[in-house]
Amino acid sequence: MSVGMLQDSVTAPAPAVLSLDIFDTVLLRDGSTQVERFVKSGRRAAPRLGVDPGALAAARILAHTNAYRAISMERPGADPRFDAICRATVASVGLGGEAASVLAECEKDVDAERLKPGAPALAIIDEARARGQRVIATSDTWYAPDDVGELLVRVLGLQPFDRIYTSSELGATKHHGGIFEKVADLEGYGAEHFLHVGDTWAADYGRATAAGWAARHLSRGHAFGVALAVGRLKALVMYSRG
């Protein structure tokens, strides 16, 4: 679907609430992988914490894996919380307290450097605002809403949403579908009053429509898929070097 056609479908007729995915929709990644970003943030935080960069990066990757294993048993269909992952990471290298905040800060720094504005999504938001619609974010991420808001301000220069909902906050995801019902309850509207826009066909379109929401798919396209594949290869090399 072209951007023009997408904007037309978003605004006519206007839903009560427009929802957008964050990552790779409103904020576009550069093709880097999670592992690549974890390694870079570990290397950045390590000198401030007085630990080996390779050990900290490895601890961050392991903490991520363990957090998702644990959440699959404790809160199936949810994402773990960023602050808990950071605490587990620094604890595994013998640190605590302020160290988790330092790691979190460095990780958000690295993330912000690898994000850019998603012009098509921002145009949709502007159009919705002009029509007086409520605009929210619905995102699958370990970040808390405040973390997402911080990244939006750093990359866009503003936080354009009335409210940000994240899977780690609500204990449900787009991937498994449960987040849409929870957001509708919190917003106080029936499912028929929502339109969701995002880049992932299965989660942003399929799960949203299964929950009774209208949905539109805003793909990153083939070039991004190629960039992501290259990024995965780079991440393997980077991590193997420690």
Provide mean pLDDT across the span 154-183: 96
pLDDT digits (tens, 9 = 90+) for 170-219: 999 999 889 999 999 999 999 999 999 999 999 999 999 999 999 999 98
Verify that 127 and 148 share a domain, yes or no. yes
Q: How far is CA 163 from the centre of its chain?
A: 15
As a whole number, mean pLDDT of residues 218-229 equals: 49
Average pLDDT over residues 54-77: 91
Q: Are residues 24 and 124 in the same domain?
A: yes
* Rounded CA separation 174/240 (Å): 32
User: Is 53 within the bounds of a domain?
Assistant: yes
Q: Which of 143, 140, 35 minimizes the C-alpha distance to 78? A: 140
- Within-domain flag for 97: yes
Q: Which of 94, 113, 132 is the last residue of a domain?
A: 113
Q: Which of 181, 143, 129, 107 is nearest to 23 (CA)?
A: 143
Q: In 118-235, which ranges are E strands?
A: 134-139, 163-166, 194-198, 214-217
Number of domains in the chain: 2
Shared-domain flag, residues 133 and 212: yes
On average, the pLDDT of the chain sits at 87
CATH number at residue 189: 3.40.50.1000
User: Partners of 134 in the beta sheet?
Assistant: 17
Q: Are residues 140 and 23 both part of a single domain?
A: yes
Q: For residues 121 and 213, state if they share a domain.
A: yes
Q: What would the two tokens of residue 3 be?
A: 């951007």
Domain encompassing residue 72: 34-113
Query: For residue 9, what pLDDT band results from cuts at 50, 70 and 90?
Result: low
Output the CA angle 113-115-118, nearest 5 degrees. Answer: 150
Same domain, 127 and 213: yes
CB-based contacts of 50: which residues, under 8 Å, 6+ apart?
A: none
Prediction pTM value: 0.85
Confidence of residue 130 (pLDDT cuts 50, 70, 90): very high
Over 90: is that where the pLDDT of 223 sits?
no
> Has residue 63 been placed in a domain?
yes
In a domain, 228, yes or no: no
